[in-house]
């Protein structure tokens, strides 16, 4: 499916809005001691930012795994973004999957707290790349 520039910009804008709103939900869930939910929202905040970047640059995003592969291939391995962001994205996906699908797993507060700021920074870096003049 081919998008017009206007359609692409609209989708990218919506993905970034979703990333920011979802990131804001993390604090609410952490304050309510809903750590598994906070892990879910942290992953999805980054996922939506990554989708915005990929779509902005003309890539088609079909699956979570596909978004990871493209993100790592196009932005991490090329040095556009530091490898720590690729590692963070992978860690967040693992944490989200464990907390969503493994009833014996509960996210630890320290796991979340050490990733809150890096997740925010990744979202900001994605926004900078999207807004960078070409």
pLDDT the model gives residue 3: 85
- Residue 2 pLDDT class (50, 70, 90 cuts): confident
From residue 51, alpha-carbon distances to 3, 27, 63, 67 in Å are 15, 22, 10, 7
- The H-assigned helical ranges of the chain are 5-31, 35-56, 64-71, 83-101, 109-131
pLDDT the model gives residue 12: 97
Residue 70 has which token pair? 């493209």
For residues 57 and 74, is the Cβ–Cβ distance under 8 A? yes
pLDDT at residue 1 tops 80: no
- Residue 13 pLDDT class (50, 70, 90 cuts): very high
pLDDT the model gives residue 107: 94
* Structure confidence by residue, pLDDT tens digits, 65-89: 999 999 999 999 999 999 999 999 9
Burial class (CB in 10 A: 0-12, 13-18, 19+), 26: buried
* Structure confidence by residue, pLDDT tens digits, 44-64: 999 999 999 999 999 998 899
pLDDT the model gives residue 61: 87
* Structure confidence by residue, pLDDT tens digits, 91-112: 999 999 999 999 999 999 999 9
């Amino acid at each position: 499916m081919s998008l017009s520039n206007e359609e692409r910009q609209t989708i990218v804008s919506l993905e970034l809005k979703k990333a920011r709103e979802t990131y804001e939900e993390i604090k609410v869930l952490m304050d309510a001691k809903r750590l598994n939910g906070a892990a879910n929202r942290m992953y999805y905040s980054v996922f939506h930012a990554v989708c915005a970047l990929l779509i902005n640059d003309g890539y088609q995003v079909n699956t979570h795994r596909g978004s990871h592969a493209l993100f790592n291939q196009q932005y991490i391995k090329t040095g556009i973004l530091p490898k720590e962001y690729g590692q963070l994205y992978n860690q967040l996906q693992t944490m989200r999957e464990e907390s969503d699908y493994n009833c014996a797993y509960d996210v630890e507060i320290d796991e979340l707290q050490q990733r809150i700021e890096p997740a925010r920074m990744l979202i900001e870096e994605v926004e900078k790349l999207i807004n960078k003049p070409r």
